[in-house]
């Protein structure tokens, strides 16, 4: 849809072609496993923090690729690094390490601004 | 005297190819390690997408083995290259010298107990797709009578790198939908759930079956891989998954859980590959020369494949590959004579 600039509320459409992902590129360099996720949800299903909070690793990985990290990065704070997600991930993603790397990479990005 | 061709594996691929080779004028020697022919199909009750009885296909095939020498309870002891022939020694002491061997060794069902988090072999109410077919086929009374909630778990030992199988087994999605409808007929009051990651309804009429499952049988589909199963004191199950469309973890209390065990390379694959010195892929299935134009030809002279020995396949695919392989062998042997 063309945005004529007269709208009262900004469009909430995901403008996927505008999404630039330098931070995600850096994450992939450190953590190539991030590209292996098939969004099965096993991690979110077994997550100890997810029972009480909105923490959801599947959603975090997806939102990083859609340029919506602001919405989901704070969720990672609920992670206790218990590693249950790592036990169930069918792709063998080292999820604990991935979570730590996300923290590092996106924190670095924050500092640059 | 007509020329012999050795066919290793007496499932639908091996039987069909043997019949076709016989019709082309050869004498197939069909070898099966189990006491009966028919492979997995012999233990299956009904077939997707129409629910026809598996035996309506298999019985006529097995009744039509005139001109085929077949040996059950028999394994291959060794295979050696001798000039331009293959010498195949069997566990029953017989041996054959042939110019062509067809490998129709099929697949093994993934051993569901390897996915310990699903509790197969630990919790009574966790069964597999094969157990369910065996029960359907037996016509026996159900083992549990208080079945109100039933779950089907897709992709058990498939699309799972940790279980050592990255491949999709292709047929279990539609099998789960078929079995979900069938079990709903047995327990009309039960609510039936299918937990899937993607629903692979690729074949003709599969999508219709999926629609029918929702409309006529009220099967509920949840997109999310089951992460773990536990048991309460009465032996009922708690199933955990994320509803990935809704974006929330969920828990289901179930009375019966059916694991859709996938296809893994047959145990004999590596051994046979070494005997005739051919390659397997990193998924462990035999690797044909080309997956597109000649999925039934190997990289070695006189060695051919048909069916799930080269990866998960449906029954119709297996049967047509068996015919194609028989023709390829005929062509190969005729070329040798020229
Ligand atoms: S369990 Fe692994 S593959 Fe599944 S959503 Fe989580 S990270 Fe992705
Ligand atoms: S066919 Fe369906 S259930 Fe079977 S492995 Fe593929 S996606 Fe999973």
pLDDT tens digits for B49-101? 999 999 999 999 999 999 999 999 999 999 999 999 999 999 999 999 999 99
**Rounded-to-integer distance, Cα B201 and Cα B212, Å:** 13
Chain A residues with CB under 8 Å of B154 CB are none
**pLDDT at residue B82, as a whole number:** 95
Judge if the beta carbon of residue B99 lies within 6 A of ligand 2.
no
User: Facing residues of B257 across strands?
Assistant: B126, B151
Angular region, B124: left φ>0, alpha ψ -120 to 50, beta rest:
alpha
Domain range summary for chain B, segments of one domain joined by +: 4-106+266-337, 110-262
Instruction: Tell whether B200 lies on the interface with A, counting CB pairs under 8 A.
Output: no
pLDDT single digits (tens) B199-235: 999 999 999 999 999 999 999 999 999 999 999 999 8
Q: Which ligand is nearest to the CA of A38?
A: 1
Judge if the beta carbon of residue B100 lies within 6 A of ligand 2.
no
Q: For residue A15, what are its two tokens? A: 């403008």
pLDDT single digits (tens) B159-198: 999 999 999 999 999 999 999 999 999 999 999 999 999 9
3-state DSSP assignment of residue B153: strand
Residues above pLDDT 90, as percent of chain B: 96
- Among B82, B248, B258, residue whose Cα is nearest residue B155: B258
SS3 percent helix, strand, coil of chain B, rounded to 5, is 30, 30, 40
- pLDDT band for position A96 (50/70/90)? very high
Question: What stretches of B24-151 show up as alpha helix (H) in DSSP?
Answer: 55-62, 129-138
Distance B202 CA to ligand 2 centre (A): 11
Tracing tokens 């773990």 back to the chain, one arrives at B228
Q: Do B241 and A45 touch (CB under 8 A)?
A: yes
Residue B212, Cβ density class (10 Å: 0-12 exposed, 13-18 middle, ≥19 buried): middle
Q: Quick check: do B4-106+266-337 and B110-262 share a fold?
A: yes
Instruction: Tell whether B224 lies on the interface with A, counting CB pairs under 8 A.
Output: yes
Question: What stretches of B222-314 show up as alpha helix (H) in DSSP?
Answer: 269-276
**pLDDT at residue A91, as a whole number:** 96
- B117, closest residue in chain A (CA to CA): A88
For domain B110-262, give the CATH number: 3.50.50.60
Give the homologous superfamily in CATH for domain B4-106+266-337.
FAD/NAD(P)-binding domain (3.50.50.60)
**Rounded-to-integer distance, Cα B287 and Cα B285, Å:** 6
pLDDT single digits (tens) B272-292: 999 999 999 999 999 999 999
**pLDDT at residue B1, as a whole number:** 65
**pLDDT at residue B208, as a whole number:** 98
């Amino acid at each position: 849809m063309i945005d004529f600039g007269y709208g009262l509320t900004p469009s909430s459409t995901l403008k996927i072609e505008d999404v630039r992902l330098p931070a995600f590129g850096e994450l992939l360099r450190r953590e190539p496993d991030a590209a292996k996720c098939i969004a099965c949800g096993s991690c979110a299903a077994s997550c100890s923090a997810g029972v009480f909070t909105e923490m959801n690793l599947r959603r975090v990985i997806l939102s990083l690729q859609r340029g919506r990290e602001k919405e989901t990065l704070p969720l990672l704070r609920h992670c206790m690094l218990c590693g249950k997600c790592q036990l169930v991930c069918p792709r063998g993603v080292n999820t604990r390490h991935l979570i730590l790397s996300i923290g590092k990479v996106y924190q670095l990005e924050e500092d640059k601004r | 005297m007509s020329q012999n061709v050795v066919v290793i594996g007496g499932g639908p691929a091996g039987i069909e190819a043997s019949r076709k080779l016989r019709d082309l004028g050869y004498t197939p020697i069909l070898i099966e390690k189990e006491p009966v022919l028919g492979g997995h199909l012999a233990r299956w009750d009904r077939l997707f997408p129409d629910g026809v009885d598996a035996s309506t296909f298999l019985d006529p095939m097995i009744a039509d083995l005139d001109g085929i020498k077949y040996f059950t309870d028999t394994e291959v002891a060794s295979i050696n290259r001798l000039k331009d022939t293959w010498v195949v020694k069997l566990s029953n002491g017989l041996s054959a010298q042939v110019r062509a061997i067809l490998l129709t060794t099929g697949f093994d069902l993934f051993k569901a107990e390897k996915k310990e988090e699903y509790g197969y072999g630990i919790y009574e109410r966790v069964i597999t797709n094969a157990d369910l077919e065996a029960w359907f086929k037996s016509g026996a009374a159900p083992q549990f009578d208080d079945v109100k909630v039933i779950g089907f778990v897709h992709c058990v030992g498939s699309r799972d790198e940790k279980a050592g199988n990255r491949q999709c087994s292709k047929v279990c999605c539609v099998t789960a939908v078929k079995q979900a409808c069938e079990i709903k007929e047995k327990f009309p009051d039960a609510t039936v759930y299918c937990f899937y990651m993607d629903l692979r309804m690729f074949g003709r009429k599969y999508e219709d079956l999926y629609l029918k499952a929702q409309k006529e049988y009220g099967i509920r589909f949840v997109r999310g891989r089951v992460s773990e199963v536990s048991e309460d004191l009465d032996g009922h199950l708690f199933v955990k998954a994320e509803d990935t469309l809704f974006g929330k973890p969920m828990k289901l209390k179930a009375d019966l859980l059916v694991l859709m065990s996938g296809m893994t390379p047959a145990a004999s694959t590596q051994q046979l590959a070494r005997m005739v010195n051919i390659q397997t892929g990193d998924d462990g299935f035999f690797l044909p020369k080309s997956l597109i134009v000649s999925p039934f030809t190997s990289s070695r002279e006189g060695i051919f494949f048909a069916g799930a020995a080269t990866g998960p396949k449906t029954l119709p695919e297996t049967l047509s590959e068996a015919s194609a392989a028989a023709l390829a062998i005929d062509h190969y042997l005729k070329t040798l004579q020229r």
